[in-house]
Amino acid sequence: MAKPAVSSSWIWFLSVAALIHMRTVFSSSSTSSRCYTAIYSFGDSIADTGNIYYDTEHIPSSTSMVLNPPYGETFFHYPTGRYSDGRLIIDFLAERIGVPLLKPYLGIKKGKIKTWNSLEGVNFAVGGAAALDASFFLEKGLYDVDVPASYSLGVQLDWFMDLLPSICNSSSECKEVLGRSLFLVGEIGGNDFNYLFQLGKTIEEAMTYVPLVINKISWAINKLIDLGAQTLVVPGNFAIGCNFFCLKNFPSSDMEDYDESGCLKPFNNFADYYNKQLLAELNRLQELHPDVNIIYADYYHASLQLYQSPEQFGFTKSILDSCCPLGNANNHNVPLKHCGEPGLISCNDPSQYISWDGVHLTEAAYKWIAKGLLEGPFTNPKNGFSCNSDI
Closest CA relative to residue 71, chosen from 89, 53, 58, 54: 53
Closest CA relative to residue 212, chosen from 228, 226, 195: 195
Question: What is the signed CA dihedral for 357, 361, 367, 371, rounded to 10 degrees?
Answer: 180
Task: Tell me which amino acid residue 323 is.
Answer: C
Task: Tell me which amino acid residue 369 is.
Answer: I
Catalytic residue flag (residue 44): no
- Determine the Cα–Cα distance for residues 330 and 148; give it in Å rounded to an integer: 30
Instruction: Point out the catalytic residue in the list 45, 218, 303, 355.
Output: 45
Instruction: Point out the catalytic residue in the list 48, 346, 355, 360.
Output: 360
The CA R_g of the chain, rounded to the nearest whole Å, is 23
Indicate left, alpha or beta for 343 from its phi (over 0: left) and psi (-120 to 50: alpha).
left
Closest CA relative to residue 160, chosen from 178, 147, 172: 178
Closest CA relative to residue 360, chosen from 198, 191, 202: 191
- Determine the Cα–Cα distance for residues 266 and 255; give it in Å rounded to an integer: 12
Catalytic residue flag (residue 45): yes
Instruction: Point out the catalytic residue in the list 48, 272, 298, 357.
Output: 357
* Four-residue CA torsion sign, 92, 322, 209, 63: negative
Closest CA relative to residue 153, chosen from 20, 44, 240: 44
- Determine the Cα–Cα distance for residues 388 and 303; give it in Å rounded to an integer: 24
- Determine the Cα–Cα distance for residues 312 and 34; give it in Å rounded to an integer: 31
- Determine the Cα–Cα distance for residues 380 and 291; give it in Å rounded to an integer: 16
Catalytic residue flag (residue 21): no
Task: Tell me which amino acid residue 130 is.
Answer: A
| DSSP string computed for 89-106 | HHHHHHHHHT-PPPPBHH
Q: Which residues are catalytic?
A: 45, 357, 360
